Amino acid sequence: MEAKMRKVQLDEHNIKESQRLAGPTSSSEQRPSNQRKPSMPMIPPFMTSAPGKVIVFGEHSVVHGKAAMAAAISLRSYMLVTTLSKSKRTISILFPDIGLDHTWHMDSLPWETFKHPDKKKLYFDMVSSLDPDLVQAMQPHITPISRNLPLETRKIHQAAAFSFLYLFLSLGSETNPGCIYTLRSTLPIGAGLGSSASVSVCTSAALLLQIRALSGPQPDQPIEESRLQIERINRWAFVGELCIHGNPSGVDNTVASGGKAVIFRRADHGQPPSVKLLRQFPQLPLLLIDTKQPRSTATEVAKVGALNKAQPEISKFIFEAIDKITESAMGIVGSDDFDEDDLQSIRPLGELFNINHGLLAALGVSHPKLERIRELTDISGVGWTKLTGAGGGGCTITLMKPGVDPESLKSLEKTLNKEGFERHETVLGGDGVGVLYPAILKNGADDEGGEEIDQEKFLNAQGRAGVESLVGVGMHEKREGWKFWH
């Protein structure tokens, strides 16, 4: 581990010179031949971050051609990028939350294959499938990873490494400096909360920043320019999802990139879903509770498919009712009169939570643990609860009532902990991808320079609470230093 705990010492001049990000059109490949390439100062440590997501309305009916609503949550992934000295020609990925620690020697990677004129992609390209030749060239660099670990752990490690390396080789070059990419997350993994997409967005943004293919984010950045940067990040994050899932919908990475919420519909399973961004989606307090009950999305989808085959008329009625719920929710949150701080304003949205859950239970995708959580939250009176995602276990989301009694919340927390459930207070509809450049936060410090987030501090942060305390973007208030594209 000591080999990974390297600190990069930067002098004040290099930090000052590197703080300003170059515009999107700067690229060494585009530099006129008669212009001398200036020496590049070492990039200071910087961070990227992206949120997870929940399905708010429309689970399962979306599989049958109806609309669903997904929204960002304030549980996030955080990537720290540490540039090494010129003499260190290695690329390391350090993902301690899943136990992944691997290093490649830069000069041994298959650059020749990736930079071939027929294969090389530019940062603004749209990539909709993986290139088999590139995948094949990567295999010798993936198969040795975690070879001696159990099969399931090895699969997770190799999938994460494959996704990272495909993006790194596609966007980088052999002249890139050596780096360590360290990832921490406050997102539960494997709970249907879009954790892989969150990581893919962090990776995409970090690599695009390193090749100076992004501008901003800045407070005065024109909206269209800002959205172009988000789309650029989103496109390459989708490639990362292709590496992990094979045939992703693209919804998770879209929410992780842009934040807020989306309405998506897939009428034809042979085509990508249509996605409508809800940029004015309000930020709503949410209680996310993990049942810790393992579930299989494929099993739950198949269960609903079997019911649809056995009871087509009734199933059709339920799918259409869920579709109406999604449509009604859009109308509520999009209304000029909607006030998230007013109980009477938010109550109709909460009622849709209850109705949607009831319909999902009718489809057979609830679970005794999900129902127990609903019972506990109903008794406490803190809000309205439904399952989110495939069901059969996984998580619930509770839309919190304004002005919840702190004692009721504390009592609920005590009961949830006693019964083995894991709760997370979060916010629905928050920001998408963010950047901390350089990795310096004020954190209430009196000194003018603030607190530098180095690798040692980042790795030593204890659990999700420690990561949130050290570098979290904040739930209700944006933390000074973090910047976001809108």
Active site residues: 252
Alpha carbon distances (Å) from 432 to 336, 344, 429: 23, 29, 9
For residue 179, what is the DSSP state? E
**Cβ atoms 413, 287 nearer than 8 A:** no
Q: Which residues contact 272 (CB under 8 A, 6 or more apart)?
A: 249, 250, 266
What is the helix, strand, coil percentage profile of the chain, to 5? 40, 20, 40
Dihedral angle sign, alpha carbons of residues 460, 179, 137, 229: positive
Dist CA 288 CA 290 (whole Å): 7
Q: Is 110 exposed, middle or buried (0-12, 13-18, 19+ CB in 10 A)?
A: middle
Strand partners, 395: 290, 388
Alpha carbon distances (Å) from 451 to 83, 184, 358, 447, 454: 18, 18, 48, 8, 9
Alpha carbon distances (Å) from 184 to 94, 156, 238, 299, 424: 9, 16, 20, 30, 17
Dist CA 162 CA 370 (whole Å): 34
